[in-house]
Structure 1
């Protein structure tokens, strides 16, 4: 398998790396024991056959789905050291444009997961207080925790992030110890390792197949192992997973042992997870569980920020404000997404109120992400010339397994599953509108050859009868070819208002499929008159064009490729550097259009969404004091018949 030339050695293993992996990778999957066995039993009478069958399903799900699919196979498909659904898509999209829509659905499902996971994790942990204080109202506590969690995002996680690893180490150790203490009381629970019990539950037990929806909750978060590849490294994730899986299984087996000891009874609000704890440990146990749930939520929030930033640069999402609270890698804050997640989480808590009610909403959307990962990975294996039989087996096996989970989860649709599907649909629709509108604009943007206007630009530059607009005039251009610019730029220079400048710069930014590319190319089309700069920036690189262009010009001056001093005689004698002014063309939909209804809806929705997003100059990181925004009409299909008659008299 092709190894990514990442920014660090992916297979390197270190104690610090293992601790970091525990802190940021396993939050979601690591807090699943809080609610999985409870979701499986639900309001039914505890049945030993169901317990053993469900436990067997949990074991084989964690083995097949999490261990083999993600830890063993998908972690190998890194994109220059980075992982995740969008990073995997970037690896294969040149060969498979048809995977664009499935990828958007998978990304939207991950964002939907970021709205459901924090409420269910925190609620499950906090509800443990009801054992000690039966009349306590947990919803306000959950809301306060979530509010604080989202409020501190603006500061980044640098300060508290260092504690995540040790806390999660304590959490997983607690899971293992609690589980082991009950397994030794009922060793027969080990029988669940036999897949026959899973088969018996799914095929022979009435309603057994529907329980797969609850079983699936044990593997939600598996995709985070891949998404956090760049933060932790493949080696650290694989080694730490051995410990994490062992402690998770010990806890699931321990809960099952407790359930079997209460065969024939109803849970009646009891939580199998907390029933493992001795009375003296309940309060500290609840505190540890709550901290683990908060860390799990933080991991989902951070993952959502990263996902959106990648989606923006792949033109899947509107250009919204991104902030970097510190210089530390991975420190990203997206205000609008933070607000969206917070509102969504609060709505989920207020609507469902209890974690048991949220279980139905959780899991359905994430099966879509896993199905998409299966499609993308299959195509990755195919394009990297793996044995065709291996590709087919991988695709068929995992598509079948995940489709089964999907069908089982669909049975929860009416009980709350519709919430995650609705969220996913809304987010995927936004992505589709943004992508489709971009395609429509790209198809109808007219380009012209720069060479045609070189003489005119030189004449304009030397025409003293026209007031100088700027010493250096910089246009942001979408034209990827060195020899071209948009016709609208030429119109802006010569016709809208003649813009006289000493040097005309045309800057194009190309987003690459590799995450951390930082390259540029300079084409001096006409020395000291017309220059084009092309940036090649990875989809995880912040577009700080103002800074980057300044560095490029400094290098060009040093190499005597350009003279940037003012051409005013009095200023030139004193080597005064001329001013720089940026022009950004912002399109609006012209009224002079005849569009099919579908395209009308797409473009209207696009411009409506765009009204809430960052302007182009802010997105490119330009100095706002030196930027001119020019609005230009986007005429997609001009009206050719106008029944207008002149009358006389």
Structure 2
């Protein structure tokens, strides 16, 4: 209860440092969208129609109001899972009420959000670096962009707590800068402010030729709203809400200033409208500042992807990758496999599209799908919170109407490159669903056996049988069972089958990764005092799982409290620690050849085992000392092969 109160207070607090942090890491993606949004809507050499320019500005204003402000800032941020946000946290809140079918929605939303993480660094960095082409016409920006992306991913393993201190101040300068130059340009044509009237948006979408299809480019102004929700646990709900007031004002000024320039100039050129409104005297520093802002935006999105994948691992939706907690910043994490996967994917994206204007086709489609799924999930959450049905229907219809319109407009980008992000999102979705359902199928077929008094007595007898060679003082089995009254049959087979493993004490240790981020507790039950113990270790999903260290602490505490006593032997006086040596036994299954399976089930199970190859073993995941680990493999039989007539000659 104290933890919940602390989380509530954390989200209620509004501090200058928190607002600055929110400005730095939450709004990076949406804050760099002025670099490329209008550039995607006006082609070089196009004669600017004021009706089109004002209609687009009106659509941008109301998209930021309805999608970002109303949907995410005011409504979605209320849905936190013990302080954490993001689509998987939202799924955690509703899964117990709406069954397992909701997992498909969550998986799709998460997959397409990761796809967004692949396209955002290339388009953001490219759009900033392309500003150099005004000074160096014909400059090939691809090598520079790739170099920045490689640098960005290489430094992840070092931790970003040091450079993270500069995120807030740099982004505050960035937002102030885009707001000021936007305001300066706006003074040249204040009439663009009439775009605040939604009538101009209506005119564009309904009456302007092919106006509706411009929504595909207009949507770029709100990309980053989904990532905003994921970062709630880092900076607090109210800090995000307060900082958004300033961020939104500067964004609107930037878009209004660019629109004023477009109407005044009359013709769009090769350079983004953003760079056209920058005074010559500060042009080079502006390109440098824009590059810094895009790097920060990319960094925030990469960190968001790590958080997303870590939650997917916790929910059993992704293979167990190694999660590292570099530096000292609370909750900061680094996932090596995913870091290098994202880096390679980003580099391939740059090599394929080469310029930001080409990437715009692939950008937006995956985020639109994620936003649609979030709308469905948030409507289910509001139902759990007993919000009146009429209110839920009105909210859902409003957001679905907006997002389905964006989706239809974005679908025209399929042949221009949008299909790439759909393929990536589809592959990630299939990977997660195969892992989830494959693991579920495996878990159902793992035989359990009750720890009856007879078995416990047998373990006690084996422990005290000094005629057998001691296998270890402490023999620790990692078990999937949180119930102290039953255990996997394979563990008992491992202990009792020849040669029997004699240990002074048998430990059955279950690691439970909790929905709370920073839990670190344990339950201990003596099934046979000084002979058999069952431990449940509750670890928050943002806590480094140092299971080896935690076990030693638990054993020492049980000894201190008198719940565990080691019998003194002659050898004990030479032990370097009070409780003797210990061995972790990890049992892994493999699909037995003695199986007869339907094709689809055979494909699912084999795919699940193949996906294990991209994960890490439990000893690495739980940070077990390699010298204390024993591996055992056992065959898993789903269905015995049919009897065959084998004839002797």
Structure 1 counterpart of 2:497: 495
Q: How much has 1:467 moved relative to structure 2? A: 1.2
Contact 2:331/2:543, CA 8 A, preserved across alignment: no
Contact 1:473/1:581, CA 8 A, preserved across alignment: yes
Q: How much has 1:184 moved relative to structure 2? A: 1.3
Structure 2 counterpart of 1:390: 391
Question: Deviations for 1:33-77, whole angstroms, at most 9, x for unmatched residues?
Answer: 000011112354321111111111100000000001111111111
**C-alpha distance in 2 between matches for 1:197 and 1:54:** 8
Matching of residues 172-571 of structure 1 within 5 Å: 172-263=175-266, 265=267, 267-451=268-452, 452-495=454-497, 497-564=499-566, 567-571=568-572
Partner residue of 2:647 out of 640, 645, 648: 645
Closer, same or farther: CA 123–6 of 1 in aligned 2, 3 Å: farther
Matching of residues 602-621 of structure 1 within 5 Å: 602-621=604-623
Q: Does 1:151 align with 2:133?
A: no
Structure 1 counterpart of 2:145: 142
Q: How much has 1:239 moved relative to structure 2? A: 0.6
Q: Structure 2: which 5+ runs fail to align?
A: none
SS of the counterpart of 1:78? coil
Q: Does 1:133 align with 2:153?
A: no
Q: How much has 1:572 moved relative to structure 2? A: 6.0
**C-alpha distance in 2 between matches for 1:422 and 1:573:** 61
Q: How much has 1:538 moved relative to structure 2? A: 2.9
Contact 2:331/2:542, CA 8 A, preserved across alignment: no
**C-alpha distance in 1 between matches for 2:647 and 2:469:** 42
Partner residue of 1:167 out of 159, 163, 170: 170
Question: Deviations for 1:483-511, whole angstroms, at most 9, x for unmatched residues?
Answer: 00001101111115311111110011223
Contact 1:471/1:501, CA 8 A, preserved across alignment: yes
Question: Deviations for 1:266-308, whole angstroms, at most 9, x for unmatched residues?
Answer: x241210000111111101111101001000101111111111
Number of equivalent positions:
642
**C-alpha distance in 2 between matches for 1:231 and 1:162:** 14
Contact 2:473/2:505, CA 8 A, preserved across alignment: yes
RMSD of aligned alpha carbons: 1.6
**C-alpha distance in 1 between matches for 2:234 and 2:283:** 34
Q: Structure 1: which 5+ runs fail to align?
A: none
Q: How much has 1:570 moved relative to structure 2? A: 4.2
Partner residue of 1:102 out of 98, 102, 105: 105
**C-alpha distance in 1 between matches for 2:442 and 2:47:** 60
**C-alpha distance in 1 between matches for 2:496 and 2:617:** 24
**C-alpha distance in 1 between matches for 2:309 and 2:371:** 18
TM-score by length of 2: 0.96
Question: Deviations for 1:309-345, whole angstroms, at most 9, x for unmatched residues?
Answer: 1111111111111112112113211111111111111
Q: How much has 1:245 moved relative to structure 2? A: 0.2
Partner residue of 1:116 out of 116, 119, 122: 119
Q: Does 1:631 align with 2:624?
A: no
**C-alpha distance in 2 between matches for 1:229 and 1:282:** 34
Structure 2 counterpart of 1:24: 25
Contact 1:79/1:515, CA 8 A, preserved across alignment: no
**C-alpha distance in 1 between matches for 2:513 and 2:397:** 34
Contact 1:521/1:534, CA 8 A, preserved across alignment: yes
**C-alpha distance in 1 between matches for 2:640 and 2:613:** 24
**C-alpha distance in 2 between matches for 1:161 and 1:304:** 17
**C-alpha distance in 1 between matches for 2:5 and 2:544:** 20
TM-score by length of 1: 0.96
Structure 2 counterpart of 1:9: 10
Q: How much has 1:374 moved relative to structure 2? A: 1.1
Contact 1:361/1:418, CA 8 A, preserved across alignment: yes
Contact 1:6/1:82, CA 8 A, preserved across alignment: no
Question: Deviations for 1:156-198, whole angstroms, at most 9, x for unmatched residues?
Answer: 1111111111110110011101111111111110111111111
Structure 2 counterpart of 1:596: 598
Q: How much has 1:576 moved relative to structure 2? A: 4.8
SS of the counterpart of 2:62? helix
SS of the counterpart of 2:562? coil
